Homo-oligomer: A and B are copies of this chain.
Amino acid sequence: LSVPDNYAIVFVQGGASLQFAMVPMYFKQEGKVFSYIHTGEWSTKAIKEGKLLGEVKILASSEDHNFNYIPDLKNIKIPENSAYFHITSNETISGIQYQTFPDSGNVPMISDMSSDFMSRPIDVSKFGLIFAGAQKNVGPAGIVPVIIRKDLLDKEKKVPSMMNYAIHVENNSLYNTPNCFGIYMIGLVMKYVKKFGGLKKMEEFNRAKAKLIYDTIDAGSFYKGTAEKNSRSLMNVTFTLPKPDFDKEFNSEAEKLGLIGLKGHRSVGGFRASLYNAQTMENVKKLVEFMKDFETKHK
């Protein structure tokens, strides 16, 4: 729950979508490129905004398999002239998540952690900047916690004041009237996480929830996990049924049990169980029981 002394935390209004533009605006430098890893919907959106503001290099992509894996970045070569190196720690639609983070050398690594922020401990010192739309794990939509390494702060950048991280830091998130309600709610959630036992406990909890579903998928050949095993997300478990004909029944039977919002994104199909911090073990157990019953009836 704490960050190293050489980092600052600020709250910026808006969502991750504004950060997709704020990052390239702030880090833009003559002769430098914006480097990205392309892993799905959210990195696609970030890349789109980068392209509006400068030259983009895509260093690796999993588009060839419908974004069902995180590319192996062990030997990634990040161009020396990168203004930054951008990754998306968790992609909600295909259900993939970085298990470890690459080393970005002298290039600041930026991570959009909107969908797994505060779900597990993170070695902040690997990153130049971390941002997260609040609405998954930490608060209401409309506010973004940003963690930035202090040596990257430069108030003199020729960007609008609200797009200048240094101005937000200097004013302790009070350069303009902040989203008070959002910040207050995040404060309550932080207290809750602390009481819960901190991020290590939260990761154990999230891992236990995800394991129950992944084990159910892996136990037979009825369900099929969408993501490659070594890229599986703890936040979004995606899977398909043996026949798309079953989908409608699966969905309506699940809804009868109060298991809602399980339909997968149209680009992936099938189903997606979202296991953000607030999701209970009880609900996950109910889903797993239902999945087993449904399998028994239909196989």
Q: Which of A20, A179, A181 has the most CB of B within 10 A?
A: A179
Q: Which residue of B lies closest to A180 (CB)?
A: B141
Cross-chain contact A181 with B140 (CB below 8 angstroms): yes
**Interface check A133, CB cutoff 8 A:** yes
Cross-chain contact B177 with A141 (CB below 8 angstroms): yes
Count of chain A residues near B, Cβ 8 A:
33
**Interface check A258, CB cutoff 8 A:** no
**Interface check A178, CB cutoff 8 A:** yes
Find A17's partner among B18, B158, B159, B176 (CB 8 Å cutoff).
B176
Cross-chain contact B13 with A158 (CB below 8 angstroms): no
Contacts of A283 in B (CB 8 A): none
Question: B-facing mask of A142-163, CB < 8 A → 1, else 0?
Answer: 1100000000000000111111
**Interface check A182, CB cutoff 8 A:** yes
Cross-chain contact B52 with A159 (CB below 8 angstroms): yes
**Interface check A112, CB cutoff 8 A:** no
Contacts of A159 in B (CB 8 A): 52
Q: How far is the CA of A160 from the CA of B21 in the complex (A)?
A: 6
Question: B-facing mask of A13-29, CB < 8 A → 1, else 0?
Answer: 11111101100010000
Cross-chain contact A161 with B13 (CB below 8 angstroms): no
**Interface check A229, CB cutoff 8 A:** no
Which residues of chain A from 1 to 51 have a CB within 8 Å of any chain B CB? 13-18, 20-21, 25, 48-49
**Interface check A192, CB cutoff 8 A:** no
Contacts of A140 in B (CB 8 A): 179-181
Contacts of A158 in B (CB 8 A): 52
Cross-chain contact A176 with B15 (CB below 8 angstroms): yes
**Interface check A246, CB cutoff 8 A:** no
Which residues of chain A from 215 to 263 have a CB within 8 Å of any chain B CB? none
Cross-chain contact B13 with A15 (CB below 8 angstroms): yes
Cross-chain contact B25 with A18 (CB below 8 angstroms): no
Q: Which residue of B lies closest to A177 (CB)?
A: B141
Q: How far is the CA of A159 from the CA of B179 in the complex (A)?
A: 24
Question: B-facing mask of A176-202, CB < 8 A → 1, else 0?
Answer: 111111100000000000000000000
CB distance from A2 to the nearest CB of B (A): 26
Find A21's partner among B13, B162, B179, B181 (CB 8 Å cutoff).
B162
Q: Which residues of A contact B (CB under 8 A)?
A: 13-18, 20-21, 25, 48-49, 52-53, 133, 135, 140-143, 158-163, 175-182
Q: What 9 A-B pairs come out closest when comparing CB atoms?
A: A142-B179, A21-B160, A17-B176, A13-B14, A141-B177, A18-B162, A15-B176, A142-B142, A140-B181
